[in-house]
Amino acid sequence: MYFKSFEIKYRYDKDGYIMEWMLSVSFGEIFLKGKNRHIFYKTAIDNIKRNIRDIPYEDMYSESSKLYIKADKKDFDKLKNNILKVFGISYVSYVIKTSKNLDDIYKACKLDLEEYFTGKNYTFKVDCKRTDKAFEFKSPELSAKIGGFILRDFPNLKVNVHNPDFRVFIDVKDNVYVYSKRFKGLGGLPIGSSGKGLLLLSGGIDSPVAGFMVAKRGMKIDCLHFHSYPFTSKRALQKAIDLAEIMSAYTGKMRVYSVNLANIYKAINQNCERRETTILSRRFMMRIANKISEANGYQALITGESLGQVASQTIESVAVINDSSDLPILRPLIAMDKKDIIDISLKIGSYDKSIEPYDDCCSIFAPDSPVTKPKLNFIKMSEENLDIDALEDEAIKNMEIIDIA
Ligand code: ATP
Ligand code: MG
């Protein structure tokens, strides 16, 4: 366990019962299996701590595979919203911690029901999980007893074991935790469990969503942004950094590499056919990304490309772009409709930033009629007019690095 030990500190209500509101976090199943379990657990907890560092909480400990956080109840919603951004979490719940005593357990249930369910005609079910097998009541017995008490005291509530409106959960461990209010997590795998990738982050809608999707499958990501100052404004770079910051609530801390393509665009403009600018610059981006990856251990590149979305995102372009990369290029959005991509960007909170109107280097240098079906041999012939390695190495030498803590 990540937290070695914890002191059991009880708080008593005015009648002398042990009652304490807390948040609990439960993790996905895959997460709990296998050799790397404690590493995943530690990563998830580090990300949780990072996401709630600006919100006061008193203490955090784990007890049989769940994480418990002591905090002021007025901060629960804020804490919950930030914790739910961490991948690998199945639920966050508002629980009442109490002792292993039937009276206390029922008192906790009552407190919970009074908070959330009085006066409404709901159906419910009591769901007990007994981790402590020494506890005097077996799970069905405890469920029946507590269910009976609830029916006696709450005339508006009825039992429905198959399809209840809500469940009263009772976890019997070293302590007992009672709760009915729980919020579903994003699922996915904890960051760091699927290697390390480099996201090509533009200022648009798509690339942050692409990064979110691979991060959800456990890939640790950093970002690479290309700008072309002074042809594009400094604000374009700031926008990419802002987007990375928004993503980092999900992905954890990230590094943003910022590379200036101005000289490369100039060289392309002077030496190649204008209609090839987009595909040529994409191949530069990929080669530079490969070089940065080789030096820093990234195992894949990630882009926000989606088939047919714009003229340059044809299968022919995809093929010519792939040729410029030794690393696999992951394109999680390749078969998605724009509307569905926008829905995700709204959900993760990047949309409003993405639609801010700052010029991207691609749009500034975009030709009026780009080649939509590039042929690799022609593109390679055009590249012979350029000193590719020197241009790339110069761009990498002047690269800036911004760390998002
Ligand atoms: P996005 O919404 O992510 O900007 P897009 O729909 O504008 O994508 P393109 O401009 O064709 O599509 O870019 C496709 C992908 O290439 C982007 O999703 C991104 O991964 C990468 N890319 C494009 N421009 C840049 C840039 N300036 N810096 C880093 N990556 C970029
Ligand atoms: Mg774009």
Whether 198 lines ligand 1, by a CB cut-off of 6 Å, is no
Predicted confidence (pLDDT) at residue 189 exceeds the cutoff of 60: yes
Q: Of the ligands numbered here, which is closest to the C-alpha atom of 208?
A: 1
Give me the mean pLDDT over the 345-355 stretch. Answer: 97
**Would you say 200 is a known binding-site residue?**
yes
Cβ–ligand 1 distance for 202 under 6 Å, the answer yes
CA separation for the pair 249, 273 (Å, rounded): 42
| CA 317/CA 379 separation, integer angstroms | 11
At residue 99's C-alpha, the angle toward residues 183 and 180, to 5°, is: 20
Question: Confidence band (pLDDT; 50, 70, 90) for 367?
Answer: confident
The arithmetic mean of pLDDT across residues 242-246, rounded, is: 97
309 known member of a binding site: no
Query: In this predicted structure, what is the pLDDT of residue 5?
Result: 33
Contact 122, 131 (CB under 8 A): no
Of 324-333, 364-373, 396-405, the one with minimum mean pLDDT is 364-373
User: Does the beta carbon of 350 sit less than 6 angstroms from any atom of ligand 1?
Assistant: no
- Reference 306, options 207, 199, 213; nearest CA is 207
What is the four-CA torsion angle of 39, 222, 349, 233, rounded to 10 degrees?
Answer: 160
Q: Using one digit for the tens of pLDDT, what is the confidence trace for 66-123? A: 999 999 999 999 999 999 999 999 999 999 999 999 999 999 999 999 888 867 789 9
Summarize the confidence of residues 243-249 as an average pLDDT: 96
In angstroms, what is the span from residue 49 Cα to ligand 2's centroid? 33
Tell me the pLDDT of the chain averaged across its residues. 91
pLDDT band for position 369 (50/70/90)? confident
State the closest ligand 1 atom to the C-alpha of 302, by its place in the atom list counted from 1. Answer: 20
Residues within 5 A (CB) of ion ligand 2: 202, 204
| Nearest 10 degrees: Cα torsion 262, 264, 269, 272 | -170
* Ligand 1 center–CA 164 separation, angstroms: 47
Q: What is the per-residue pLDDT across 20-77, written as a single tens digit (0 to 9) for each?
A: 999 999 998 666 567 777 888 888 899 999 999 999 999 999 998 899 999 999 999 9
Q: Which domains does the chain have, with CATH numbers?
A: 11-184 (3.30.2130.30), 196-404 (3.40.50.620)
Two tokens, residue 358: 């700052």
State residue 192's pLDDT score: 84
Nearest-angstrom CA–CA distance, 199 and 15: 56
Rounded Cα distance, 29 and 168, in Å = 21
Assign 10 a pLDDT band (cuts: 50, 70, 90). Answer: very low
Q: How far is the centre of ligand 1, averaged over its atoms, from the C-alpha of 379 (Å)?
A: 20
Say if ligand 1 is within 6 A of residue 312 CB.
yes
- Distance, in Å, from the CA atom of 302 to the CA atom of 198, rounded to the nearest integer, reads 6
Determine what percent of the chain is predicted with pLDDT higher than 90: 78
Q: Which ligand is nearest to the CA of 261?
A: 1
